[in-house]
Amino acid sequence: MSDRYLALAQSPLGRQFFSALNLPAPPRLARELQAYGPQPLAGKTALVAGVPQARHRTTLEAALRGAGASLSGDKPALLLFDASGATGPAELKPLYAFFHERLAGLPGGTHVVVIGRAPASCDSAAEAAAAGALSGFVKSLAKEIGRKGATANLVTVADGAEAWLGGALRFLLSGHAAFVTGQTLPLTPPARSLKPGDCSRPLDGKTALVTGAARGIGAAIARSLAREGAHVIGVDRPQEEAALQGTLAAFDGKPLLLDVTAADAGERIAEAAGQLDLVVHNAGVTRDKLLRNMPEHFWDMVLGINLEAIVRINEQLLAGALAPQARMVCISSIGGIAGNAGQTNYAATKSGVISYVAALAAEVGKRGMAINAVAPGFIETQMTASIPPANRFFGRRMSALLQGGLPEDIAEAVTFLGAAPLSGGVNGVTLRVCGQNWLGA
């Protein structure tokens, strides 16, 4: 479903028209859809600043150089501020000064990352107040600069997780995260055996399974994982055989026709796939109705596919089909965060996913594994094409970036969370990929 308002705003004539009428014009996002490669930030200039006691500046600068960014030059497109050493709110003044003087001429497509200490690692309530202040700051800054296609995100670093900053920056400072803004990404130390590895082709030699891979977001995820070197097995319902084969043929993926609600779905996956390094639970449906009018089978179907199947399949896979450092990624939704009239069933499953991921993280983390979720906002797929036009208009426009996302935006976030060299320090987290949609923000 094409977004005509966006297309008009980005055409030469439309730009004049939007500017004359002072209409909000969705910016063109500089998406990166190529493989990471060794230096994903090559050709970009970064500026790093921080509070006087900043803890991670040396690591940040080394990570930026390693990813190919230059640390000197005019008009930096990457702005980083390390606020991690602030022991109280008064020490945040340099944060204000640094951004205040740079926002007037901010280049379009700038990526901002603020680094903070994880509130749980703070030594005093005053330090936690300063650390907590960063979240409101970044959310507001993201809303202020979003019209330029610029993003701002916060990374919190728990003690012992500093080594994972490099992978997080490769994602958040590049076009791989063009639709991620106003979010907090918490880094925590993983099991001792996991060390940051080679970030180029981060899924080389890995076996990944994606449910609902025939079309939409699942197909984009399958393509993106294959691009980074994974051997992909795509699952979908038997009636989607042709579409599934069409998607997977492009990169020699293996189809597995299966309804994820089958009682033995996990066992059949294990049988067909062997040992898995990555499992992406993407298959999902909506059956919207106000609760008072909702037939029982709408409830059963949505709960069964979107949530019960994830729990059951993981239980079966955790019994022995997962590699020692396997990662799992589930697809939630901002609908699960905000709620929606007519979506009690869907929103229940999507908020259920968020709690499930947070709860299972500690258990799988002890085994060296990780589980995370992505909560998409309004994404241009067959699912959202069926939304009434007025709702679709507001679904797209009510966000810092003034537009809907593409399936590729979700695929990039899933690829990041599924690749241990990039996101080994992320576990139990739900990352919103929504252009900072106002729903539940």
Ligand X SMILES: NC(=O)c1ccc[n+]([C@@H]2O[C@H](COP(=O)([O-])OP(=O)(O)OC[C@H]3O[C@@H](n4cnc5c(N)ncnc54)[C@H](O)[C@@H]3O)[C@@H](O)[C@H]2O)c1
Joined tokens for residue 187: 């880094």
**The one catalytic residue among 5, 36, 346, 356:** 346
Residues 6+ apart with CB under 8 A from 323: 207, 275, 276, 277
Residue 439 contacts ligand X per CB under 6 A: no
- Is 39 or 261 the residue whose CB approaches ligand X more closely? 261
From the CB of 438, what's the least distance to ligand X, in Å?
Answer: 15
Residue 211 contacts ligand X per CB under 6 A: yes
The residue within the footprint of ligand X, chosen from 130, 354, 371, 379 (CB under 6 A), is 379
The residue within the footprint of ligand X, chosen from 218, 352, 425, 440 (CB under 6 A), is 218
The residue within the footprint of ligand X, chosen from 86, 230, 269, 283 (CB under 6 A), is 283
- Is 127 or 380 the residue whose CB approaches ligand X more closely? 380
- Is 121 or 333 the residue whose CB approaches ligand X more closely? 333
Secondary structure in 3-state letters for the chain? CCCHHHHHHCCHHHHHHHHHCCCCCCCCCCCCCCCCCCCCCCCCEEEEEECCCCCCHHHHHHHHHHCCCECCCCCCCEEEEECCCCCCHHHHHHHHHHHHCCCCCCCCCCEEEEEEECHHHCCCHHHHHHHHHHHHHHHHHHHHHHHHCCEEEEEEECCCCHHHHHHHHHHHCCHHHCCCCCCEEEECCCCCCCCCCCCCCCCCCCEEEEECCCCHHHHHHHHHHHHCCCEEEEEECHHHHHHHHHHHHCCCCEEEECCCCCCCHHHHHHHHHCCEEEEEECCCCCCCCCHHHCCHHHHHHHHHHHHHHHHHHHHHHHCCCEEEEEEEEEECCCHHHHCCCCCHHHHHHHHHHHHHHHHHHHHHHHCCCEEEEEEECCECCHHHHCCCHHHHHHHHHCECCCCCECHHHHHHHHHHHHCHHHHCCCCCCEEEECCCECCCC
Residue 381 contacts ligand X per CB under 6 A: yes
The residue within the footprint of ligand X, chosen from 8, 33, 158, 285 (CB under 6 A), is 285
Residue 174 contacts ligand X per CB under 6 A: no
Residue 240 contacts ligand X per CB under 6 A: yes
Residue 382 contacts ligand X per CB under 6 A: yes
From the CB of 393, what's the least distance to ligand X, in Å?
Answer: 14
- Is 103 or 285 the residue whose CB approaches ligand X more closely? 285
The residue within the footprint of ligand X, chosen from 183, 344, 384, 403 (CB under 6 A), is 384
Give the count of beta carbons closer than 10 Å to the beta carbon of residue 345. 23
From the CB of 245, what's the least distance to ligand X, in Å?
Answer: 12
Q: By CB under 6 A, which span of 189-197, 358-366, 378-386, 415-423 interacts with ligand X?
A: 378-386
The residue within the footprint of ligand X, chosen from 161, 217, 273, 321 (CB under 6 A), is 217
- Is 3 or 259 the residue whose CB approaches ligand X more closely? 259
In the annotation, is 36 catalytic? Answer: no
Rounded-to-integer distance, Cα 171 and Cα 187, Å: 13
In terms of Cβ atoms closer than 10 Å to its own Cβ (0-12, 13-18, 19+), residue 103 is middle
Q: By CB under 6 A, which span of 2-10, 91-99, 216-224, 420-428 interacts with ligand X?
A: 216-224
Residue 215 contacts ligand X per CB under 6 A: yes
From the CB of 18, what's the least distance to ligand X, in Å?
Answer: 25
Dihedral over Cα of 156, 157, 161, 164: its sign: positive
Residues numbered 294 to 333 that lie near ligand X (CB under 6 A) are 305, 331, 333
The residue within the footprint of ligand X, chosen from 116, 190, 212, 234 (CB under 6 A), is 212
Residue 247 contacts ligand X per CB under 6 A: no
The residue within the footprint of ligand X, chosen from 110, 121, 184, 282 (CB under 6 A), is 282
From the CB of 28, what's the least distance to ligand X, in Å?
Answer: 20
Q: By CB under 6 A, which span of 21-29, 117-125, 188-196, 212-220 interacts with ligand X?
A: 212-220
- Is 344 or 384 the residue whose CB approaches ligand X more closely? 384
**Chain-centre distance for alpha carbon 236:** 23
Nearest to ligand X by Cβ — which residue? 284
Binding residues for ligand X, per CB under 6 A? 211-212, 214-218, 235-237, 240, 259-261, 282-285, 305, 331, 333, 376, 378-379, 381-384
Active site residues: 346
